């Protein structure tokens, strides 16, 4: 009986060991087998992602992507394999929600999408698809699907066959396909239309553009209809198409400048591929046909605006709107060009964007400022103000833009540097009469002296722990956190008291909550243009990045290390506001503001009251040091105020020897101009100082004593016996 039990136990043990060995062998065999079978690796990723085994899903996907397979092969593997597309989509969607799988899943999905684009835009496949347009029904459907997927990349080959083929059936099929490509065919067809020598083809292109119906073709069609060198049938067809796309008779120059404005504004429908890294600028070469020049999507709209504005100015050099759009787009192009990227069209122009911003005068620059203010484009606002600083004076200060005063509007813009720079421009102009909003100029200049380089931030997060962690990180980065809360409403009182907010950080688990908070921030004057760092993860992060791609004031980032957080903040502030205000920047503003305040005080400008700066300058005497403090003292000596003169004297007595002489000189200057406003205790202190001081300090004290014009018996004892 004992032998039987032992045998049974050992038999069970042998079966368990055998099962373990078989399982281990299967696990060890899977990677090697999968490496030779990409389809199996893709199936494994989908399976493990759906059954929530992240380690195995990641291993399968990573092995597949590291196998040397191209993006195009990945796309073919999915699109032409046996794996259902909806099943793959479900697997990716789930994986994006799991932190362990999200990065790999996002990379795999991105590579497959990129591969689909590579396949769709491959010229050989496009040409092959065109030959299938006259095949059997299945071939026709396949060809149409490929060509429509290729979008504007299919237009050059379709146009070549349309103009050169002798197969009328194929030409008809190409014409139909161009209509089906639709909006994406408009820009290349407009670029080619004037240069096609064959009137029949030109007429067909006009008809196609009319059928597609996008209004961006209107100026090109109207110009074609007015081209005396074109055949009458072409001109008639162009005008019919112009009417069909919604064109209204009027100035051709204005039509081009209006389209330039739409590109400047970043109208999404004008972009063939708004979410891709590059978009094409089209031209026509008589030898090679249509030519696509890819430019970074971030500056595509600005490049197109410049080209169209240039064309508008060729037609009417007096078109001021076109000139303003060109200047604004050129400045914005320089700001928005991603680091490391090249603008292949305007990179080598003879003059800089700053040159164009100044050469055309104040009126055009004020137009640019108005455009920038309307778009809440802080870097462009500052570019316009920098140009105005060179061109604006008392004689042209109040040039207006459509009944507006953009320079005055900038005084209330929710960015401190913009406020300072507009106040500096207005202050330097020393206007000869008062104007609406003049009372804000001197206090802003004084604030630039007092504030220093402090940066202010807000934190909005659903969880209190996230609020604390983010606030700590911002504090380590040198920000003063004005407040933290879970909703904008809870911070409204704090926001209302601030002149501007330099940074806002959001963290919410749901994408819709992030969007809701963003919308709430954008209706408050103090935060409407503030840079926002929105922290998200997984699918929400990808969606948020897509949603805010064209908004340079918002950056979507994952929750990461302290170093990565700091980098994200710096990148955002550089892009949205031209960088963070550092101590050196604040000192520069302070020195420039003091120079302007001195001019205001000396010239007695009727538009400004230097006394409006007194309170802030007195605060600055306590906060500033060195040369800046002495400049503040000089301005205070020009203000007719008891407080200013008395505080200057007290500061002189409390200062080190190195500053005391200069401060006493300022006290003397104040007394000479406004008379003695000192208290009796201060006069007694001065008498003691005169008696006890030596060298330069004694001489400076004597100058104050003499300016007071006290009775001579107060100082007669100073004469040696």
pLDDT in tens, 345-384: 999 889 999 999 999 999 999 999 999 999 999 999 999 9
- Grade residue 633 by pLDDT with cuts at 50, 70 and 90: very high
Fold (topology level) of 454-580: Rossmann fold (3.40.50)
How high is the mean pLDDT of the chain?
88
CA distance 577 to 136: 58
Query: With 70 as the cut, is the pLDDT of residue 710 above it?
Result: yes
Task: Give rounded-to-5 percent helix, strand, coil for the chain.
Answer: 70, 5, 25
The model's pLDDT over 652-694, given as tens digits with 9 standing for 90+, comes to 999 888 899 999 999 999 999 999 999 999 988 998 898 888 8
Beta strands in 219-288 (DSSP E): 278-285
Residue in this structure with the two tokens 């065109």, named with its chain if needed: 130
Domain boundaries, the chain: 33-121, 454-580, 640-718
CA distance 91 to 111: 16
At residue 5, the pLDDT reads: 37
Query: With 60 as the cut, is the pLDDT of residue 4 above it?
Result: no
| Lowest-confidence pick of 358-362, 504-508, 526-530 | 526-530
CA distance 527 to 540: 24
Query: With 70 as the cut, is the pLDDT of residue 24 above it?
Result: no
Element (H, E) at 337: none
At residue 80, the pLDDT reads: 77
**Average pLDDT of the segment spanning 74-88:** 87
**Average pLDDT of the segment spanning 703-719:** 71
The model's pLDDT over 556-595, given as tens digits with 9 standing for 90+, comes to 999 888 999 999 999 999 888 878 888 888 889 999 999 9
**Average pLDDT of the segment spanning 696-718:** 78
**Average pLDDT of the segment spanning 196-216:** 95
- 3-state class (DSSP) for residue 523: coil
Q: What is the torsional sign of CA 360, 361, 367, 370? A: positive
- Torsion region of 538: left, alpha or beta (phi above 0 gives left; psi -120 to 50 gives alpha): left
The model's pLDDT over 321-331, given as tens digits with 9 standing for 90+, comes to 999 999 999 99
At residue 450, the pLDDT reads: 81
Q: For a pLDDT cut of 70, what percent of the chain falls above it?
A: 92
What predicted TM-score, i.e. pTM, was given to this entire model?
0.81
Element (H, E) at 352: none
Q: For a pLDDT cut of 90, what percent of the chain falls above it?
A: 61
């Amino acid at each position: 009986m004992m032998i039987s039990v032992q045998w049974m136990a050992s038999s069970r043990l042998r079966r368990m060991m055998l099962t373990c060995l078989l399982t281990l062998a299967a696990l060890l065999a899977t990677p090697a087998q999968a490496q030779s079978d990409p389809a199996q690796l893709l199936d494994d990723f989908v399976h493990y992602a759906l059954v929530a085994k992240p380690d195995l899903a990641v291993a399968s996907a990573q092995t597949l992507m590291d196998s040397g397979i191209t993006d195009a092969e990945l796309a073919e593997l999915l699109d032409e394999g046996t794996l259902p597309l909806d099943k793959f989509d479900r697997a990716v969607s789930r994986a994006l929600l799991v932190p362990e799988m999200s990065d790999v899943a996002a990379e795999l999905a991105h590579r497959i999408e990129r591969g689909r684009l590579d396949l769709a835009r491959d010229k050989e496949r496009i040409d092959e698809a065109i030959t299938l347009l006259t095949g059997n029904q299945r071939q026709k459907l396949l060809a149409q699907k490929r060509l429509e997927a290729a979008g504007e990349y299919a237009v050059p080959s379709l146009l070549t066959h349309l103009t050169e083929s002798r197969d009328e059936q194929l030409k008809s099929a190409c014409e139909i396909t161009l209509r089906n490509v639709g909006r994406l065919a408009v820009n290349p067809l407009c670029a080619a239309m004037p240069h096609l020598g064959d009137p029949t083809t030109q007429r067909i292109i006009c008809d196609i553009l009319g059928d597609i119906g996008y209004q961006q073709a209107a100026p090109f069609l109207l110009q074609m209809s007015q081209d005396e060198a074109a055949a009458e049938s072409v001109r008639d067809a162009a005008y019919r198409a112009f009417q069909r796309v919604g064109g209204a008779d009027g100035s051709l120059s204005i039509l081009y400048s209006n389209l330039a404005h739409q590109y400047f504004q970043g109208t999404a429908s004008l972009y063939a591929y708004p979410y891709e890294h590059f978009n094409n600028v089209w031209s026509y070469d008589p030898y090679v046909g249509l030519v696509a020049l890819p430019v970074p999507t971030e500056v595509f709209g600005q490049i197109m605006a410049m080209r169209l504005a240039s064309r508008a100015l060729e037609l009417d050099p007096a078109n001021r709107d076109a000139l303003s759009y060109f200047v604004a787009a050129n400045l914005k192009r320089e700001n928005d060009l991603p680091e490391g990227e090249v603008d292949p069209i305007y990179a080598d122009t003879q003059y800089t964007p700053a040159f164009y911003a100044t050469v055309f005068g104040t009126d055009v620059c004020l137009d640019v400022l108005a455009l920038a203010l309307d778009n809440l484009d802080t870097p462009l606002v500052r570019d316009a103000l920098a140009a105005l600083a060179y061109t604006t004076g008392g004689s042209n200060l109040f040039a207006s833009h459509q009944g507006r005063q953009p320079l005055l509007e900038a005084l209330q813009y929710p960015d401190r540097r913009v406020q300072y720079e507009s106040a500096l421009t207005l202050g330097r102009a020393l206007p000869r009469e008062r104007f609406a909003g003049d009372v804000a100029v001197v206090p802003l200049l004084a604030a630039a002296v007092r504030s220093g380089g402090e940066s202010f931030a807000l934190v909005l997060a659903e969880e209190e722990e996230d609020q604390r962690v983010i606030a700590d990180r911002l504090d380590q980065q040198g920000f003063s956190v004005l407040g933290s809360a879970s909703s904008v409403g809870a911070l409204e009182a704090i926001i209302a008291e601030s002149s501007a907010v330099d940074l806002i950080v959001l963290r919410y688990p749901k994408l819709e909550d992030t969007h809701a908070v963003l919308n709430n921030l954008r209706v408050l004057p103090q935060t409407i243009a503030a840079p926002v760092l929105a922290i998200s993860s997984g699918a929400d992060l990808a969606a948020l990045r897509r949603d805010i791609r064209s908004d340079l004031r918002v950056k979507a980032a994952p929750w990461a290390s302290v170093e990565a957080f700091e980098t994200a903040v710096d990148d955002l502030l550089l892009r949205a506001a031209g960088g963070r205000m550092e101590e050196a920047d604040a000192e520069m503003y302070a020195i420039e503001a003091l120079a302007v305040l001195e001019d205001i005080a000396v010239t007695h400008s009727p538009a400004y009251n230097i006394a409006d700066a007194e309170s802030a300058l007195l605060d600055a005497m306590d906060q500033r040091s060195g040369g800046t403090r002495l400049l503040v003292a000089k301005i205070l000596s020009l203000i007719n105020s008891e407080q200013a003169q008395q505080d200057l004297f007290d500061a002189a007595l409390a200062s080190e020897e190195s500053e005391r002489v200069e401060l006493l000189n300022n006290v003397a200057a104040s007394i000479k101009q406004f008379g003695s406003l000192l208290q009796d205790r201060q006069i007694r202190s001065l008498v003691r100082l005169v008696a006890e001081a030596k060298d330069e300090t004694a001489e400076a004290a004597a100058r104050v004593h003499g300016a007071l014009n006290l009775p001579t018996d107060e100082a007669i004892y100073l004469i040696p016996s």
